[in-house]
């Protein structure tokens, strides 16, 4: 997995190389998560996959292959680049109960604001925080600590925790904007 992480961190990696490396890391993290769930007696039939648009689309194929019976919830939030606060723009969730094991997928855990908002939303919809898991590629210590106040630390699976955040709330050293790189955007997307 380290080789794939190195490709993700290399700012000169082209889109095909970045996507392949992302897929390799996602595969590794999902397999690790599934093994841990099975070891703890959690039935795959009780799993609900949650993806946060847009970057978590990278996890979707791998997650649905690992948990083929799992319904998929899709949540859309966009972080305001000035305030660093998340803004909701989409929600489509299956029925959720305290008995479900929810796995939130999002490659980057920077400030933790978006995933904290997701956890609050899932709890409001009926989830038990102790049954919520998070799978991501890279986190900042601040994001990790913020999430660990909402769900059990043992429920957080990451490939790496980097040293911190820059003044724009981006993970340092990080890998840049995961979504832009994964979706092949050279510049920013045009919305609207």
- Whether pLDDT at 139 is above 80: yes
Least trusted range by pLDDT, from 87-96, 117-126, 162-171, 178-187: 178-187
Tokens of 125: 């919809």
So where are the chain's domains? 2-182
Phi-psi region of 41 (alpha: psi -120 to 50; beta: other; left: phi over 0): left
- Residue 187's pLDDT is what? 59
Rounded distance, CA 22 to CA 7, Å?
Answer: 9
Burial class of residue 135 in the structure, from the number of CB atoms within 10 Å of its CB (0-12 exposed, 13-18 middle, 19+ buried): buried
Tokens of 19: 């996507």
- Whether pLDDT at 81 is above 90: no
List the end-to-end C-alpha distance of the chain, in Å, as a whole number.
Answer: 37
* CA 174 remoteness from chain centre: 15
Mean pLDDT of 77-90: 82
Q: Is the peptide bond before 54 cis (omega within 30 degrees of 0)?
A: yes
Question: Is residue 59 within 8 Å of 34, Cβ to Cβ?
Answer: no
4-26 per-position pLDDT tens digit: 999 999 989 999 999 999 999 99
Mean pLDDT of 151-163: 97
Q: Running DSSP on this structure, what letter comes out for residue 69?
A: T
- Whether pLDDT at 188 is above 80: no
Rounded distance, CA 25 to CA 21, Å?
Answer: 6
Token pair 């978590």 in the structure block, residue: 56
Rounded distance, CA 9 to CA 101, Å?
Answer: 31
Tokens of 160: 């790496």
Q: The dihedral of CA 95, 97, 100, 105: what is its sign?
A: positive
- Domain 2-182: CATH class, spelled out: alpha beta
| pLDDT: which is higher, 83 or 38 | 38
Least trusted range by pLDDT, from 46-55, 141-150, 182-191: 182-191
Annotated active-site positions, please? 79, 83, 177, 180
CA dihedral 180, 182, 186, 191 (to 10 degrees): -40
86-133 per-position pLDDT tens digit: 889 999 999 999 999 999 999 999 999 999 999 999 999 999 999 999
33-70 per-position pLDDT tens digit: 999 999 999 988 899 999 999 899 999 999 999 999 99
- 6-35 as b/e, with b when 16 or more CB fall inside 10 Å? ebbbeeebeeeebbebbbbbbbbbbeebbe
């Amino acid at each position: 997995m380290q080789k794939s992480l190195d490709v993700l961190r290399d700012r000169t990696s082209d889109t095909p190389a970045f996507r392949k490396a992302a897929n390799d890391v996602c595969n590794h993290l999902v397999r690790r998560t599934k093994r841990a769930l099975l070891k703890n007696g959690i039935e795959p039939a009780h799993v609900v996959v949650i993806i946060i648009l847009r970057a978590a689309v990278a996890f979707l194929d791998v997650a649905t292959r690992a948990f083929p019976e799992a319904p998929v919830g899709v949540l859309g939030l966009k972080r305001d680049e000035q305030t660093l606060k998340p803004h909701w723009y989409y929600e489509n969730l299956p029925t959720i109960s305290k008995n479900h094991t929810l796995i939130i997928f999002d490659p980057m855990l920077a400030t933790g604001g978006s995933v904290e908002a997701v956890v609050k939303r899932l709890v409001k919809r009926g989830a038990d925080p102790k049954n919520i898991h998070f799978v991501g590629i890279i986190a900042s210590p601040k994001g990790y600590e913020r999430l660990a106040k909402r769900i059990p630390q043992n429920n957080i699976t990451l490939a790496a925790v980097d040293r911190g955040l820059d003044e724009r709330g981006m993970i340092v050293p990080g890998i840049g904007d995961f979504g832009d790189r994964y979706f092949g955007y050279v510049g920013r997307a045009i919305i609207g």
